[in-house]
């Protein structure tokens, strides 16, 4: 078998230096099978960022080499963004090791909720993480203070408008429970509309939104805890950088580009001969488009109906990106005495433990522990192409 490590690194370095993409050829891996899951809605775009213990320029490699950054782990969009940035700067990207050099950016996997403490110990140079941890870290270690965390770039600067978390469903479940998935999406869409309205500080539901956001993202499971002033400030700041949007417009084109990118970087180890065709199979936009085209009648049909079935849902821990899903799941945001999922006749239960990254959600799919999941696009694409 060919050693692909050097090929991949050279291909990616050449891609960013002369603008030519080198696609891994078919003899580099087994052909990919059709995906076993489908993306049926977007959850958010943007909403992450890079921080560091010193100022850095994302357009200049000076100072990056030899630094160690925390990421949520391989396959997450945050990890892939940092990897892409390293290659763009003409540097290698490698797992942290005792002996370092100045032409490599090093990474280590740390759960987002643990990054603030790890950075405070002074053993890590920085990290890339989703909200609200990015804002919380910057507020905990403000510039000008001892041990400051500098804001290097938000993900919107790295990849403007990039899709992030998605609603993903196992195809075998979808084939047998399409109506149940439609009911779920109706509840989710209504919750997303509520979140976007409640983000306005003048909205009467803004306080409830902040409560849900804190309990979703910053509470580490302590029922006696309550949000601090700095917690609320971090959430307010974080909400400004997250776009909550269910639309799948142009997502197929983005996924096809991701497939080429991940084949070049070595994250996809199997060969996807036709990225556009694979993307077309992975993205099931017909369900969402059908709902949006017939929203009024579907609401009349399914709202306030008896329970129609159960969905085992896989979700990430401490992730503000999933705010609309959590709002629809565990809170009475309409004042009707029920959650939105209950209003649409869906019994949503947590499948497996809360996960620290999208790879864990894909593992739950592989283990048969969940029917649907909320996770980033990169792990969905990578694991779908490589096989669960």
Q: Where do the domains of the chain lie?
A: 47-158, 165-248+283-386
Give me the mean pLDDT over the 346-367 stretch.
94
Of 28-42, 122-136, 291-305, 321-335, least confident by mean pLDDT is 28-42
Q: Which residues pair with 49 in a beta bridge?
A: 129, 154
pLDDT digits (tens, 9 = 90+) for 220-274: 778 889 999 999 999 999 999 999 999 999 999 999 999 998 898 888 999 999 9
Query: pLDDT value at position 28?
Result: 54
> Which of helix, strand or coil describes residue 285?
helix
| Residue 24 pLDDT exceeds 70 | no
Question: Where in the chain does DSSP place strands (E)?
Answer: 37-42, 44-45, 48-52, 68-71, 92-95, 104-109, 126-130, 150-154, 165-170, 243-244, 309-314, 346-350, 372-376
Of 76 and 360, which is predicted with more confidence? 360
Mind listing the pLDDT tens digit for each residue in 182-207? 999 999 999 999 999 999 999 999 99
Q: Flag whether pLDDT at 13 surpasses 60.
A: no
Residues of the chain with pLDDT > 90, as a percent, come to 82
Please name the CATH architecture into which domain 47-158 falls.
3-Layer(aba) Sandwich (3.40)
Banded pLDDT at 5 (limits 50, 70, 90): very low
pLDDT of residue 107: 98
CA angle 359, 244, 137 (to 5 degrees): 65
Query: 191: which 2 tokens?
Result: 């919750």
DSSP assignments along 219-285, one per residue: --S-TT----HHHHHHHHHHHHT-EE----TTHHHHHHHHHHHHHHHTS--SB-S-HHHHHHHHB-H
Answer yes or no: is pLDDT of 16 > 80: no
Q: Residue 75: its pLDDT value, please?
A: 79
- d(Cα 82, Cα 127) in Å, to the nearest integer? 9
Tell me the β-bridge partners of 163.
Answer: 45
Using the predicted structure, report yes or no on whether residue 41 has a pLDDT greater than 60: yes
12-16, 43-47, 142-146, 346-350: least confident range: 12-16
Segment among 16-30, 31-45, 106-120, 284-298 with least mean pLDDT: 16-30
What is the structure's pLDDT at 226? 92
CA 195 to CA 205: how far, in whole Å? 9
Helix (H) or strand (E) segment spanning residue 112: helix 112-120
With contact defined as beta carbons under 8 Å apart, do 45 and 244 qualify? no
Q: Tell me how long the chain is.
A: 388
Q: 377: number of CA atoms within 13 Å, CB side?
A: 25
Summary mean pLDDT of the chain: 91
CA distance 256 to 241: 26
Phi, psi of 168 (to 5 degrees): -120, 140
pLDDT, average across residues 110-126: 94
The per-residue pLDDT for 61 is 97
Tell me the mean pLDDT in the region 124-145.
94
For residue 29, name the pLDDT band (cuts at 50, 70, 90).
low
């Amino acid at each position: 078998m060919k050693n692909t490590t050097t090929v991949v690194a050279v291909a990616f370095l050449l891609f960013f230096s002369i603008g030519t993409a080198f696609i891994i050829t078919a003899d580099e891996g087994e052909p990919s099978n059709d995906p076993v899951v489908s993306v049926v809605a977007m959850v958010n775009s943007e909403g992450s960022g890079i921080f560091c213990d010193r100022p850095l320029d994302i357009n200049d490699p000076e100072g990056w080499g030899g630094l160690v950054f925390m990421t949520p782990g391989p396959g997450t969009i945050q990890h892939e963004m940092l990897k892409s940035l390293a290659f763009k700067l003409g540097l290698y990207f490698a797992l942290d090791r005792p002996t370092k050099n100045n032409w490599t950016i090093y990474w280590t996997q740390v759960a987002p909720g643990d990054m603030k403490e790890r950075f405070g110990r002074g053993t890590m140079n920085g990290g890339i993480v989703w909200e609200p941890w990015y804002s919380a870290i910057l507020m905990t270690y403000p510039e000008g203070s001892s041990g400051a965390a500098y804001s290097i770039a938000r993900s919107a600067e790295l990849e403007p408008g990039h899709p992030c978390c998605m609603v993903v469903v196992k195809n075998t479940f979808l084939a047998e429970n399409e109506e149940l998935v439609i009911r779920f999406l109706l509840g989710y869409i209504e919750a997303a509309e509520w979140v976007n309205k409640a983000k306005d500080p003048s909205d009467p539901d803004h306080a409830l939104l902040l409560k849900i956001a804190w309990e979703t993202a910053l509470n580490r499971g302590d029922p006696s805890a309550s949000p601090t002033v700095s917690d609320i400030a971090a959430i307010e700041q974080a909400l400004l950088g997250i776009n909550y949007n269910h639309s799948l417009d142009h997502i197929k084109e983005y996924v096809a580009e991701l497939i080429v990118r991940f084949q070049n970087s070595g994250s996809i180890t199997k060969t996807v001969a036709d990225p556009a065709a694979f993307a077309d199979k992975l993205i099931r936009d017909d369900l969402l488009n059908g709902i949006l085209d017939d929203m009024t009648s579907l609401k009349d049909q399914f709202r306030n109906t008896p329970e129609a079935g159960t969905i085992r849902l896989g979700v990430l821990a401490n992730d503000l990106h999933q705010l609309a899903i959590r709002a629809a799941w565990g809170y009475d945001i309409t004042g009707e005495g029920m959650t939105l999922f209950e209003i649409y006749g869906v019994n949503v239960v947590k499948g497996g433990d809360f996960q620290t990254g999208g790879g864990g959600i894909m593992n739950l799919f592989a283990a048969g522990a969940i029917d649907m999941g909320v996770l980033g696009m990169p792990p969905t694409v990578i694991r779908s192409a490589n096989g669960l």
